[in-house]
Amino acid sequence: MTEIVEPELERFTRGDISAFEALFREYQGQVYRWIIQIVHDSGVAEDLTIETFWRIYRARTRFDPRRSFAAWARRIATNLALEHLSRRPPEKLLDNGFPIPAPAAGTPDPAISADICVKVLAALEELPAKLRVAVTLAMIEERPYAEIADALGISTNGVKSRVFRAIRLLRKNLEKRGVRS
Amino acid sequence: MKEQDEALKALLQRAAPGPADRELKHDLWPEMCRRLERPPVRIPWGDWVLAAAFLLCLILFPMTIPAVLYLL
How close is the nearest chain A Cα to the Cα of B72, in Å?
19
Higher pLDDT, B72 or A172: A172
Torsion over CA: A53, A55, A57, A63 (sign): negative
A22 at the B interface (CB within 8 A)?
A: no
Q: What are the b/e assignments for A148-173, b being 16+ CB within 10 Å?
A: bbbbbeeeeeebeebbebbbebbbeb
Whether A30 shows a pLDDT value over 90: the answer reads: yes
How close is the nearest chain A Cα to the Cα of B65, in Å?
27
In chain A, CATH 1.10.10.10 covers: 90-181
Average pLDDT over residues B18-41: 89
Average pLDDT over residues A30-43: 94
pLDDT, one tens digit per residue, over A103-149 is 444 443 455 678 888 889 999 999 999 999 999 999 999 999 999 99
* Lowest-confidence pick of A43-47, A67-71, A94-98, B27-31: A94-98
Cβ distance A28 to B24 less than 8 Å, yes or no, reads yes
> Whole-angstrom Cα distance, residue A43 to residue A78?
16
Higher pLDDT, A67 or B72: A67
In chain A, CATH 1.10.1740.10 covers: 1-87
pLDDT at A79: 96
Cβ distance B24 to A49 less than 8 Å, yes or no, reads yes
User: Which residue, among A119, A112, A136, has the nearest Cα to A171 in the 3D structure?
Assistant: A119
Whether A100 shows a pLDDT value over 70: the answer reads: no
Whether B43 shows a pLDDT value over 50: the answer reads: yes
pLDDT at B18: 80
**What distance lies between CA A55 and its chain's CA centroid?**
17
Kindly provide the ipTM of the predicted complex, given to two decimals.
Answer: 0.75
CATH 1.10.10.10 given to domain A90-181: yes
Whether A155 shows a pLDDT value over 70: the answer reads: yes
Domain residues of chain B, as ranges? 46-72
pLDDT at A112: 63
CATH 1.10.1740.10 given to domain A1-87: yes
